[in-house]
Amino acid sequence: MSHAMQYIASAERYQHIPYTYSGKSGLKLPLLSLGLWHNFGHVDSFDNSRGLILHGFDSGITHFDLANNYGPPPGSAEENFGKVLASELKSYRDELIISTKAGYKMWEGPYGEWGSKKYLISSLDQSLKRMKLDYVDIFYHHRPDPETPLEETMSALQQIVQQGKALYVGISNYKPDEAEKAFTILKSMNIQCLLHQPKYSMFERWVEDGLLDTLEKHGVGCIPFSPLAQGMLTNKYLKGIPANSRAAGESPFLQKDHLTNDILSKIQELNALALQRGQSLAQMAIAWLLKDKRITSVLIGASTKEQITDSLNCKNNLHFSTEELSHIETILTQRPEA
Ligand code: NDP
């Protein structure tokens, strides 16, 4: 990019969305945050990835979520994010909350996944190199490890904070009892866990079964991932499976057979209700998560700038009547006809 085309962030970027404290911490996160799991790897168009990041930032999204293994290939989302940081966002580093994680398989051998101190410390060092950063704002343990003592995993997080490689720490995919233990161990080390990142959407509701209460009790924020069930809770699949969709692509995480007749009929009914509320289904699905005040920020994915704008406009109707909420329950809990 030539000097004449140097990116300058929109002067109105902080006038679009609210920012909420994460749990009992002093850190505010935007209404929506942007995740780089899909659409930011070396297999994707770099121009599109850069456009999504800058459009998000111009729209008020200050928080970008990564992990060691995002791509494909693994690591390439961090490399691409690092490129955009170095060329366009360098002077905005202090306006950004950048997170990364380790927990899933990243390299061969016994030290390339799970929760040992060896893995977490080396993985974050690799992530910092790929993003060309001195520190990340939030470092997560990505999934609980049934084998490694939790004390070891938490002491790795403590060491990372003490070394200044992350300002805050979080955990992801921990069930309520595992999260409770992790928070207690961290507290004994004088570390407050900032955030928990669970999968939560209208189609995936395990967090309502104790996790949100545990987070509230410990003053920990909550940032749900896959709030749109990877695109199923949008208007994307109402008329079949478009070619430019995650379900039609190479992703092993959302495949055509996930779109069962039961899911499709629920999507149709939810879409009709969203239209009555004057919003898109994506907007209603996000607003439905934000109705619980324990939700700090909702972590969306996107393949186009228009999707980011559409999702952000959930802010225009965040209120649900009692009738709307019970209608949604009826749709979600009805069983498919045999
Ligand atoms: P979503 O449920 O938000 O799905 C995003 C997909 O939905 C997009 O790629 C797009 O699909 C479609 N979409 C998004 N907005 C719209 C819209 N307004 N209208 C129509 N379609 C839309 O989230 P993700 O599953 O992508 O996850 C979000 C983030 O959560 C990840 O990037 C990652 O940071 C984090 N995450 C964390 C995990 C963990 O274990 N901690 C696991 C998984 C995700 P399409 O590409 O088909 O256009």
What CATH code is carried by the domain that includes residue 137?
3.20.20.100
Give me the chain's average pLDDT, please. 96
Residue among 187, 199, 193 nearest 215 (CA): 193
Answer yes or no: is pLDDT of 255 > 60. yes
Query: For residue 300, how far is its CA from the centre of ligand 1 (angstroms)?
Result: 5
- Whether the ω angle into residue 73 lies within 30 degrees of 0, i.e. cis, is yes
> What is the predicted pLDDT for the residue at 282?
98
Nearest ligand 1 atom, CA 232? 7
Answer yes or no: is pLDDT of 11 > 70. yes
Q: Is residue 139 part of a domain?
A: yes
109: left (phi over 0), alpha (psi -120 to 50) or beta: left
> Which residues face 19 on adjacent strands?
30
Answer yes or no: is pLDDT of 261 > 90. no
> What is the predicted pLDDT for the residue at 64?
99
**Spatial separation of the C-alpha atoms in residues 40 and 156, rounded to whole Å:** 28
Query: Which is more confident, 148 or 252?
Result: 148
pLDDT range class, residue 258, cuts 50, 70, 90: confident
pTM score, whole prediction? 0.97
**Spatial separation of the C-alpha atoms in residues 89 and 92, rounded to whole Å:** 5
Query: 244: buried, middle or exposed (CB in 10 Å: 19+, 13-18, 0-12)?
Result: exposed
> What is the predicted pLDDT for the residue at 335?
80
> What is the predicted pLDDT for the residue at 119?
98
**Spatial separation of the C-alpha atoms in residues 127 and 123, rounded to whole Å:** 6
Nearest ligand 1 atom, CA 101? 41
Query: For residue 297, how far is its CA from the centre of ligand 1 (angstroms)?
Result: 14
Query: For residue 303, how far is its CA from the centre of ligand 1 (angstroms)?
Result: 8
Domain extent at residue 272: 3-9+19-333
Q: Is residue 224 part of a domain?
A: yes
How many separate domains does the chain show? 1
Nearest CA, atom 26, ligand 1 = 301
Q: Which residues of 170-194 are buried (b: 16+ CB within 10 A; e: fewer)?
A: bbbbbebebbbebbebbeeeebebb
Query: For residue 131, how far is its CA from the centre of ligand 1 (angstroms)?
Result: 21
> What is the predicted pLDDT for the residue at 338?
56
Q: Specify the residue for token string 């704002």.
A: 137
Q: Looking at 46-50, 90-94, 194-198, 248-252, which range is the least confident one?
A: 248-252
> What is the predicted pLDDT for the residue at 334?
87
Among 104, 204, 236, 275, the mutation site with the greatest number of ligand 1 atoms within 8 A of its Cβ is 236
Answer yes or no: is pLDDT of 3 > 80. no
| Mean predicted confidence (pLDDT) in 260-284 | 96
Q: Is residue 136 part of a domain?
A: yes
Q: Is residue 291 part of a domain?
A: yes
Q: Is residue 338 part of a domain?
A: no
Answer yes or no: is pLDDT of 72 > 90. yes
Among 97, 138, 234, the mutation site with the greatest number of ligand 1 atoms within 8 A of its Cβ is 234
Answer yes or no: is pLDDT of 4 > 80. no
| Mean predicted confidence (pLDDT) in 80-95 | 98
Positive/negative CA dihedral, 145, 227, 32, 56? positive
Q: Is residue 280 part of a domain?
A: yes
> What is the predicted pLDDT for the residue at 88?
97
Q: Is residue 307 part of a domain?
A: yes
**Spatial separation of the C-alpha atoms in residues 222 and 293, rounded to whole Å:** 10
Q: Is residue 144 part of a domain?
A: yes
**Spatial separation of the C-alpha atoms in residues 129 and 68, rounded to whole Å:** 11
Answer yes or no: is pLDDT of 23 > 60. yes
| Mean predicted confidence (pLDDT) in 52-62 | 98
| Mean predicted confidence (pLDDT) in 84-113 | 98
User: What lines the ligand 1 site, CB under 6 Å?
Assistant: 35-38, 65, 142, 172-173, 197, 225-231, 234-236, 245-246, 282, 299-303, 307, 310-311
pLDDT range class, residue 5, cuts 50, 70, 90: confident
Query: For residue 121, how far is its CA from the centre of ligand 1 (angstroms)?
Result: 28
